[in-house]
Chain A
């Protein structure tokens, strides 16, 4: 069995920690992590619950491969109803926290209620208790990790925490673990903050036991690691250049959203790219990039560890930021950079550091700043209102906005609402580049048509990680498709969505899918878990997870009209590049997608579809 078969239920209102058996019937239908935790959530909360009320629950969950010898088996998921979107929220993180939960003997932790005072959960193998966090409230994620490890005299403790953004319920606050890994999207950190839960600290020394067929598991995981090592992308491209290598690729294609999606190419893209991170700086002769890094059990090691230029205006008087730290990754570099027209890579790294330090999603934050800059250029917002001059391209404004939002100061409180609420407040809802209230990541839906459908139909709001059709439309993985056409994209998106749900539910990183297909994952799950885990079953599990999430959103009040893109992407054509003259074909793709899914024209799964999936 790949599961520990044990759930920790923490009632923050009552201050109790109780263990209970994992529902193995559900595990058989939903596998683990994203799938299984979502099943628990939808069974236990009212879909219409206020996400920041005590009645919402938050679940931290591993998958059956988390903590095992399977490559990248270090992932864990935070599942809740998201405050940014009002939809299902499921944010996935690497690092070492997930594996530690498994080592301590737990599959998932369910948090319910609200603590009357700040607390943190401390788990040491079977022992779990809530502890006073008054001394941690107001501290950053970095300070919180350091303090807890110091207090327990144990540097091996693994910690997930919220920073001041989560405490202040910034609607795109994230949960940060291992200093610079994050369950980043949809505001899961704000839910944690609403519960007065500052951190979860884990120490597990049990290892992972109970692999169903250990000899076969070791054999097959070794074989599949070789597949990753021998693949040019996962064996060389990602470890050497990281995700940031996409900056120039997407810009050359004319699909790099720039200045709040007014443009599709950024003239300074090369200055904020992976290649720029490798270049030696004129100021100190050093490259920003120091090395790559891996999460638990990962044999790809795409992570970036960098050091900011000590002479840069953002940090010249702040030595605490001079050391090596995480970033830049592509999505963050895009959102903090191209989305705002900022071409100063050191300023981007500074903003990224602050997002890690105080727990903010740099995608939603950066994209919201893009909307603010557009409102400023339209003179809807003034310097007097926002505290700084903020034209597109201003690195100083970006840096100041990051500080203000992370610390809950001045206009930062309004940025912390996200672009949808902010743009509505100032009379221009059309300027929020979002779906279901969540901001777009780094691919323009006019130049990569499949990503438009991905965003519009993503159950957690605009997101690239629910069906990364860029792999096919841009990179040719597993087969090359034309990014400029809509034909075939509904089928492509569904296939990516369902397969990704299985990767997520297993507890492994979706980046393995650049080399692995589901057929490579299947024998690893089958060896780890009891029962039959055939390809047919896994395909069904993926579709079941997706449809379950959809059902939750429908019950929460979402309708067909929420599966849409902002008017800008449907009416303002790309100005340059291969997509010049094109808008998104989302209106054509949506009906086809519903049909492919077995949903009604209104986007509701039919009785037949639900019955087929056992829902």
Chain B
């Protein structure tokens, strides 16, 4: 299945070289979870801070049990803030 994977701020460089801006389109296996994506792309646990699946926040404890679906958009930020 295809997903759009987005890493922002200091995580951007963890994306593959074929990234466009902060996004890559990926083929991933059915049943892949958010936590598996975090692990495969070697995102340090404390930097997988703000995780949005299709814009909705996914809490840390739910990431290992949250499988991705075809067409999903997964976006991750380290600790950031603004205002």
Contacts and interface: CB of A to CB of B under 8 A. Distances in A.
Contacts of A249: 8, 50, 52, 77, 80, 82
Given A245-B9, A248-B22, A254 B82 contact: no
Contacts of A254: 55
A330 interface: yes
B12 A470 contact: no
A241 B77 CA distance: 12
Contact of B75 (A240, A246, A252, A578): A252
B57 A464 contact: no
A238 B9 CA distance: 11
A608 interface: no
Contacts of B82: 238, 242-246, 249, 330
Name which of A464, A474, A475, A514 has the most chain B CB atoms within 10 A of its CB: A475
B16 interface: no
Contacts of A231: 79
A471 B8 contact: no
A241 B73 CA distance: 23
B83 A245 contact: no
A480 B83 contact: no
A245 B80 contact: yes
Interface string B54-83: 111101000000000000010101111111
B81 A274 contact: no
Nearest to A302: B82
B32 to A, nearest CB: 20
Given A248-B22, A275-B9, A465 B83 contact: yes
B31 interface: no
A474 B46 CA distance: 17
A514 B82 CA distance: 9
Interface string A481-512: 00000000000000000000000000000110
Contacts of A470: 83
A471 B81 contact: yes
A110 to B, nearest CB: 29
Interface in A207-254: 231-234, 236-238, 240-246, 248-249, 252-254
Contacts of A578: 54-56
A477 B81 contact: yes
A601 interface: no
B2 interface: no
Nearest to B54: A578
Contacts of B21: 270, 275-276
A474 B12 CA distance: 20
Contact of A233 (B22, B55, B56, B79): B79
Contacts of A510: 83
B57 A232 contact: no
A116 B10 CA distance: 55
B77 A245 contact: yes
Given A248-B8, A578-B54, A578-B55, A238 B81 contact: yes
A365 interface: no
B56 A246 contact: no
B2 to A, nearest CB: 18
Given A252-B52, A480-B57, A243 B83 contact: yes
B59 A241 contact: no
B81 A240 contact: no
Contacts of B52: 249, 252-253
Interface of B: 6, 8-10, 12, 21-22, 46, 49-50, 52, 54-57, 59, 73, 75, 77-83
Which A-B residue pairs are the 4 nearest by beta carbons?
A: A243-B82, A232-B79, A246-B82, A237-B80
Interface of A: 231-234, 236-238, 240-246, 248-249, 252-254, 270, 274-276, 330-331, 464-465, 468, 470-471, 474-477, 480, 510-511, 514, 577-578
16 contacts: A232-B49, A232-B79, A237-B79, A238-B80, A243-B81, A245-B81, A246-B80, A248-B22, A248-B75, A252-B75, A275-B12, A474-B50, A474-B57, A511-B83, A514-B81, A578-B55
